[in-house]
Structure 1
Amino acid sequence: MVDPSQSGQDDTKRAVVNRFVDPANPVVFTLSGQVHHEENKRLLSSADLGFIKDRVIVEVNFDQLDATKRDHVFSSTRDRAMEGEEYKHVRQALEDALDADPELNALDEYYHQKAREGGDSADQANEDLADLMNTFDIESNDIAGLEVPGGNAVKTDGGESGSGGDGDGGGPTDPYVPDPVDNLKPEPTWLEIANPAAERGGPVTVRQGGTFQLHLRLDAENHFDERDDVQWMPISSGTAAHALSRQNRRRLKNGHTYVVFSVDESVSVGSTGKIEIQLAWNGGSDTLTASTDVIVGEPIEQDSADNVSSGAVSPEVIPYEDNTGDNPFNFGEESVVRYIPREDDRDQVYVALFNEKIQPILDNVTRSENVLNRYTREYMAHLAFEATMEHYQEDDSEIDEEARNRYHNRSAVTLMQAIAKNVDPSTLA
């Protein structure tokens, strides 16, 4: 029904869906082919179908209900359901039917497992690890031996480890930690771009072939970021537009969030453009926008000796879902993390997601695929950061491997429990 190839029009999938339902309200009550009421995605989440709530449309057809009972469900204007006993009965019966449907449950489990197998979480964990290396001001020359070819983190303009006010990507500075926004609200009333250059009214410099963070400031409480109906949509224009690719977005904290972009290495230095961030919630009925000009600057200087970018370098994070067959771990279901140095390539950190204490927490994430990906990527990034710092400690070889694993096991459980409680892992001691 919503296949664009069958629609006869050159539309995106979302545009085709929009002709049938509001994507934020995919459960519809119909009468004689007309929609008389909509329910949002929380009903599907309540039926433990969080992983298909963005993939299904549910129609509740009232054509066979007699007129008297129908009048007890719909208002006289027929534009919404009356929230009386009859409506509550229908809604509960619908939730029970969805919860008991074997095909829907099988589909939900399929997408749950698909999300557990990785998706974008591994790539995002590598981005987060690079951010952590920058946030804590870890430089390649700060730690003996931390010279990993392939590291791609760079200094950014206005991020938590920005290179100062102008985003020139120079030498190490104190990490940039923004002041908390005052008077935070359940839903924001304003949104602005807080990169220093943008605040001065000038263009934000983005580095050819590098990455940069667009710093957003708004008056929303942290849990606003957890809502399923919240959408952050970056729109770029100008001669530099084709070169800007969104990578990920850092979680809202104290009124601040960061959208991370990569910059194509083939874009010409001096190219200009504009980035607009559109924030929408409540099915798109509430929106805020903010924009800034950008200009492409010279790439970050390379070390002529080994051609490695200056700034932080990080190993590659690799999730491990299965404890069967060959794997880098030694402690079975209690395995947590393993750092593997490589002489001629980028170091690797393997993170065990099959850990007997971690797996149940991940299995119980039924709210949505986005939430599961967030849990997984933040867990992997912070555990990998801990393992990386430990690997380069001078007395690392003196630590008993079993004792080290017990320490990591306790740390992993604390970390994952904190993430599940919506605590920012960066704040943990």
Structure 2
Amino acid sequence: MEVLKIATAGSVDDGKSTLIGRLLYDTKSLTSDKLEAIERSSKQKGYDYLDFSLATDGLVAEREQGITIDVAHIYFSTATKSYIIADTPGHVEYTRNMVTGASTSQVAIILIDARHGVIEQTYRHFFINNLLRIKDVIVAVNKMDLVDFSEERYNEIKADFQKVVEKSDYEDQQITFIPVSALKGDNVVEGSTSMNWYDGETLLQHLEKIDTKDVYNSGRTRFPVQYVIRPKTEEYHDYRGYAGKVYGGDISVGDEIVVLPSETKSKVKEIYFYDKKYETAARRSSITLTLENDVNVSRGDMIVKANELPKVDKKFTATISWMDGKQLEAGSKYILQHGVNKVLTKVSAIHNKIHPDYSGIEEGVSSLQMNDIASVSFQLNKPIFFDSFKEHRTNGAFILIDPQSNNTVGVGFID
């Protein structure tokens, strides 16, 4: 069954948790005890409707304040797909939570309150989705019931959001607009009888139509080696296989390859998936390769096609999302984890802080606070093999680890 990972983003009171709750309710994905709890809590609060936000807001503080603070992962299925929704907070204080939740997602849903339209937070949500190169973005114009299901208001918001899209440098991004009322259920799972002027798909219909093979950005083939398989049995006495996941593009038997960092050359001899052999492995496939030559390959090495070499360097500049209470300063030292490789690194320069509302940059910055996004240069103690994040979402990303606390303190996207 295909699995589609979705990140949601919306400002406080845009109805994001209600939208997810409505999705769960209308697809009959809520358990009976959860549904009873929602009904009981809604009655206690004096509501004449079911408060679906209770289906996702798990923290006591979230339920009390009616806001999303932490990232919650919600699972549901239809007959054709399984879905994982990362319900991420949209407030500026929780930028790091939103980056974390969206980092593994393939589709984003940005909610806009039909009463308020495009606001500063909307710019921030779209910026982070662009930063993470999320290809499919659904703009759900929510609370249409509070603006009398006005087509004119919907078109105004659509036009305003297009101005935000014009600031994007991501040409392959797909933007889809859907007018919804999460509370009433209009255009979430079922079509709306109150918006006859809208002839597009409902939210679920659009999600069902998305091909999970197309949501990942294609690029050059990268095969980071996770594990070296040496059975050393009588049957497989000389077998040496390299297990991992193919990213970016496909790889085939007979392809000329280079092993990094040794730069040893060879050819792909066999491709296995468990006990089956294949001529070609598509991107996102978890496979085992064997090579024609008996070369030295270890965990952390990378196999690439001979004509698709990445950059190999001990320094680079990246866009950083800082996630720790302790400031990042020039000269600070961290462990940089790129794929399965860990190297020591030093912050050589902080160039500028980037305002995620598209209002520009701030120069002359000496340190970064939690939730700041900035352009930063690094000096590594040994080379890594990387691509720019815009060209390769997997091979262009890394995390920073504090060597003292062992906490993940930042995430980076190589320029």
TM range (shorter): under 0.3
Decide which structure has greater strand share.
Answer: 2
Return the TM-score normalized by structure 1. Answer: 0.25
- Give the structure with the larger helix fraction: 1
| Higher relative contact order (CA closer than 8 Å, sequence separation 6+) | 1
